[in-house]
Amino acid sequence: MTDPARGYPDLHDHIATLDEAGLLVRVDREINKDTEMHPLVRWQFRGGIPEHERKAFLFANVVDSKGRRYDIPVIVGGLAASREIYRRGIGCELDRIEERWAEAIANPIPPREVEGAPCHELVFADEALNAEGNALDGIPVPISTPGWDNAPYTTLSQYITRDPDTGVQNMGNYRGQVKAPRRLGMNPSLELRPGIYGHWQKYRARGEPMPAAVVLGAPPCVTFTSTLKLPETVSEFDIAGGLVGHPLNVVRAKTVDLLVPAEAEIVVEGFIDTEYLEPEAPFGESHGHVNLQEFNAFMDVTAVTRRKNAVLTSIISQVTPSESSTIKRVGMEPLFLSHLRDRLGIKGVIRVGMHEPLTNIRKVIVVQVERDMPRTEIWRALYGAASLHRAAGKYVIAVNEDIDPDNADALFWAMAYRANPALDLEVLGHRDQGHGPRSLRNDGEDASVLIDATLKEDFPPISLPKREFMENAREIWEELGLPPLKPETPWHGYSLGEWSDEFDRAAALATEGDYFETGRIVAQRRRKDVEMNTEVRRIDEGGETGS
């Protein structure tokens, strides 16, 4: 079979790139997928290792708790253990990721249907699936949260379905419980009714099972796009093409009438039952808690197709930061920014940041805006960020550009000194709880809290040494061989508007050793008609004096 031409990296190209960059750990020793694989990789997220030091892990010698050996390697952390790994999957520098996503959304490229495809190098369909190892039992799906999960679950699995009314395909990332060699569970995102759940409802109304294809491993552009929450009218395949600047190769599946990525590693085809639901989970979810048992759908498998040298991708999810939160965050932040800037036409929005550690990006959103942005536009941005995604925006905070959205201490600092709860806070009721454990309080409804933590007036400078003095001191620090520094914002003082030339001159005199001159000047301004702690600026501005 001749592979179709393509202008983008597949998963094998991506793995080679990571290897060359020193971002891949090859594990050749035997690893139990049911008890050892995910806990091992988990340590780089919970063991104090900085993000830039996280790596992808490729397991070549995979076994299970029954002693079964698998001929398919598993890569974990290979798509988004870090931003550096993520950006290599797209093929751009870190500072261009936001721009690349904006370009992809603005300039989608439709896919190209091909005949032969790598994902059809091995095809097991119908009766052939009953042979041992030809169906789901031959795929080394790991257990994500040993001790809590009730089965192996596909975690980086793109479910492809079609709207039976419009014919438009949807691709979304959902978990799948391995229930039998020919039965795979399906847990949809109910908040995305135009997606797979909406399709399922339409097939159910027709009394028909729903055709589906599940992709397990694909070119990075496909995987990245599948994690976004795109509008119903937007094709994920088109955005994937726009992301890499070339049409995505797609091929017709073998037993269902759906198009799948031609360079997919493994594709599971089948029909999702629309008459019955059955219990699914417990499973450790990306909101950081175990998702307890629910009734959900299941798919009867009709075919498994794969490449001869297939590699299964599995993603670290659960408590954040994780690979799951990173892969979503890097794509969703530009989506929110584009929504506010382009769709709503709000000028002055600089960045949208989604808080990741423990909260899982959806709950706390930070909108960074320019200093002189009109108050009405700030609130429009807060409303807009809270309304884009049903499950995102429980707390939405507006800050100025000197506040780093990734620094929770800086956020609390802005809220503490720049926001008056009586004037700058608003609660929006009647929101769905969205992503997370379901509480029965308030009949299951939640709310959003919007906070304007921007500067509304000039403030005195930040009380840290000016930049030039901190930079000089750092040179001395390094000269002394002290431990490497990791500057945290703010690491130097800067003006917030309330600072005069007179103050600047006095500060310069102080650093030059001429502070006695300042003492001489202030002595000339003595007065006896003011109270203790009366601000000099109130006297200078003609305000009231003491008795």
Three-state DSSP state, 473:
helix
Q: What does the pLDDT read at residue 2?
A: 61
Q: Please report, in angstroms and rounded to a whole number, the separation of the first and last CA atoms in the chain.
A: 96
The CB density around residue 371, as the number of other CB atoms within 10 Å, is 12
Three-state DSSP state, 518:
helix
Q: What does the pLDDT read at residue 545?
A: 44
Which run of H or of E encompasses 225? helix 220-226
Q: What does the pLDDT read at residue 132?
A: 95
Q: What is the pLDDT of residues 164-175, one digit of tens each?
A: 999 989 999 899
CA 276, 282, 285, 291: dihedral to nearest 10 degrees? Answer: 80
Q: What is the pLDDT of residues 471-492, one digit of tens each?
A: 998 999 999 898 888 888 888 9
Q: What does the pLDDT read at residue 539?
A: 80
**Cis before 490 (ω within 30):** yes
Q: Which residues contact 349 (CB under 8 A, 6 or more apart)?
A: 337, 340, 341, 367, 368, 369, 381
**With contact defined as beta carbons under 8 Å apart, do 316 and 85 qualify?**
no
Fold of 344-452: UbiD C-terminal domain-like (3.40.1670)
Nearest to 107 by CA among 224, 6, 234, 14: 234
- Cα angle for residues 536, 540, 544 (degrees, 5° grid): 80
Tokens representing residue 364 in the block: 């706390």
Residue extents of the structural domains in the chain: 11-314, 344-452, 467-540
Nearest to 406 by CA among 368, 449, 454: 368
The per-residue b/e assignment along 343-369, b for 16 or more CB within 10 angstroms, e otherwise, is ebebebbebbbbbbeebbbbbbbbbbb
Q: What's the CA gap between 70 and 310, in Å, rounded? A: 11
Q: What does the pLDDT read at residue 432?
A: 73
CA-based diameter of the chain, in Å?
101
Q: What does the pLDDT read at residue 546?
A: 42
The mean pLDDT value of the chain amounts to 90
Backbone torsion region of residue 444, taken as left when φ is above 0, otherwise alpha when ψ lies between -120 and 50, otherwise beta:
left
Tokens representing residue 430 in the block: 């009647």
Q: What does the pLDDT read at residue 206?
A: 97
Nearest to 222 by CA among 178, 177, 183, 169: 169
Beta bridge partners of 147: none
pTM of the model: 0.79
Which superfamily does 11-314 belong to? Electron Transport, Fmn-binding Protein; Chain A (2.30.110.10)
Q: What does the pLDDT read at residue 42?
A: 86
Q: Report percent pLDDT > 90 for the chain.
A: 63
Same fold, 11-314 and 344-452: no
Q: Which regions in the chain score pLDDT beneath 70?
A: 1-2, 189-194, 288, 433-438, 541-547
Long-range CB contacts (within 8 A, 24+) of 42-47 = 42/316, 44/77, 44/81, 45/316, 45/319, 45/321, 45/322, 45/323, 46/319
